[in-house]
Amino acid sequence: MVTKTKGVGDLFKEVIDKGLCAVCGACVGDCPYMVFYRGKIRMLDFCNRTEGHCYEYCPRTFTDMDAISDKIHGMPYIGDEIGTVRKVLMARAGDGKTRAKAQYGGTVSTLLSLALDNGLIDAAILSKNTDDKLPAGFVARSPVQVLEGAGSNYMAYPALETLNRMPRDSKDRLGIVVTPCQAIALAKMKVSPPSQRVNMDNVRLSIGLFCTWALAYDRFYEFIKNNVSPAKIKKFDIPPPPANRFDFYIGKEVKSFSLDEIRKYRMSTCAYCLDMTAEFTDISVGSVEGIEGWNTVLVRTQRGMDIIDDAQKKGKLEIKELPAQNLVHLKEAALIKKARAVQAIVEKTGDRNNLIYLGISDKLREKLLAHRVTPQGGH
Ligand SMILES: Cc1cc2nc3c(=O)[nH]c(=O)nc-3n(C[C@H](O)[C@H](O)[C@H](O)COP(=O)(O)OP(=O)(O)OC[C@H]3O[C@@H](n4cnc5c(N)ncnc54)[C@H](O)[C@@H]3O)c2cc1C
């Protein structure tokens, strides 16, 4: 049992009204009442059910980390910095067109295109920018469509709504790109699959994005409207530390803002998130500090190993060893995120035995509470 299941009223009381909602979308599309509107999860009409998937799958209701780890990795939660990993490497797309369109090395887009080509999946659930540069879920069925979704939009959006809205009788084998909170919700859906909705066995490939925090859709959109004209934005970027910048690519120009200013638009829930590297996915992908145009790649499952091997064999990805120093930095950053999260949760509850949603061991909690953290920095 992953969560003590309650209903939508409890979801609002314990998560949404407390600023803990990550807008992952696990509660949307599964019932007629819940919608994502203007950056928030809202209830269209009163629902008095006392049990619901909306509560059960939420990444901010009680989550037994051992149970989800067992489902995804076949072992209890290891609780180290970056989670269960079979292989660490650095990669980029072999194809220049993908690299040009992608956020960094184009590893995510390349793997999805390959998975469509080699028959691992029939469709991929991704995000694509609207004309207003808001992220929106869509289903890509070809490598051309995968490239339409390339690039990062740093605003949180309900990726799992798109999954929930797949036709109930669909036989499509699916790939999905998720941030860490979305990966936790997806893992909870796999542990206790919805009987009335999409068949979770059809989700054949999950690619996780590293994430230190995401921006609040509604508030950050106001910032964009007031400071940059949304329609002209070609790309968003947060260059790795020590840059401390948020860049908007507008035509050939780059308009930069201090990351300190942009951090004001973070989702409040990110302060309580333990996971920086999307630990419950097949493969996790991020940037490489100091090496432009490449991705750090953590291969976590056998399925992940198989597709990486295929990509290398077919020349779809260039693969190199990640420099040891980069792995050290990644682990430091991931550990800091964990320690900050547990310390923020205990500060919020005032009780070290109440970690709100986090089902971790007492030993790990004490280790993270004892870890000294620097003021919030980086991304
Ligand atoms: C909110 C957010 C925070 C991030 N924080 C970090 C960080 O702290 N450190 C780090 O190293 N990397 C971070 N990343 C990941 C990084 O920006 C790249 O997405 C990643 O390195 C993959 O690069 P790529 O060139 O392979 O991506 P691409 O091949 O360009 O593919 C990117 C994929 O991400 C999907 N996507 C875009 N926006 C979103 C979104 N909002 N939610 C879910 N999926 C989306 C796209 O549909 C596309 O499929 C973050 C990404 C996001 C969305």
Q: What is the DSSP string of 14-52?
A: IIITTT-----STTSSSSSSEEEETTEEEESS----S--
Measure 13 CA to ligand 1 centroid, in angstroms. Answer: 31
* Dmax (CA) of the chain: 54
Measure 24 CA to ligand 1 centroid, in angstroms. Answer: 15
Ligand 1 nearest atom to the CA of residue 212, by list position = 8
Is the C-beta atom of 137 inside 6 A of ligand 1?
A: no
Ligand 1: residue of 152, 206, 299, 327 to mutate (most ligand atoms within 8 A of CB) is 152
Residue 135 has pLDDT above 70, yes or no: yes
Q: Which residue type does 83 have?
A: G
Is the C-beta atom of 152 inside 6 A of ligand 1?
A: yes
Cα 187 to Cα 180: distance, rounded to the nearest angstrom:
10
How far does Cα 359 stand from its chain's mean position? 19
Measure 103 CA to ligand 1 centroid, in angstroms. Answer: 7
Q: Which residue type does 32 have?
A: P
DSSP state of 316: S
Which pLDDT score, from 0 to 100, does residue 48 have? 87
Ligand 1 nearest atom to the CA of residue 211, by list position = 5
Are 379 and 312 in contact by the 8 Å Cβ rule? The answer is: no
Ligand 1 nearest atom to the CA of residue 98, by list position = 29
The confidence band for 321, taking pLDDT boundaries of 50, 70 and 90, is very high
Cα 101 to Cα 250: distance, rounded to the nearest angstrom:
14
Are 207 and 176 in contact by the 8 Å Cβ rule? The answer is: yes
Tokens linked to 205: 């490939």
Report the SS3 class of residue 137.
strand
Model confidence pTM above 0.95:
yes
Tokens linked to 215: 């921006």
Cα 97 to Cα 287: distance, rounded to the nearest angstrom:
18
The confidence band for 188, taking pLDDT boundaries of 50, 70 and 90, is very high
Ligand 1: residue of 209, 233, 270, 292 to mutate (most ligand atoms within 8 A of CB) is 209
Are 297 and 308 in contact by the 8 Å Cβ rule? The answer is: yes
Please state the rounded mean pLDDT for residues 327-335: 97
Are 294 and 288 in contact by the 8 Å Cβ rule? The answer is: yes
Which pLDDT score, from 0 to 100, does residue 376 have? 64
Measure 124 CA to ligand 1 centroid, in angstroms. Answer: 15
Q: What value does the mean pLDDT of the chain take?
A: 95
Ligand 1 nearest atom to the CA of residue 151, by list position = 30
Residue 110 has pLDDT above 50, yes or no: yes
**pLDDT tens per residue across span 61-99:** 999 999 999 999 999 999 999 999 999 999 999 999 999
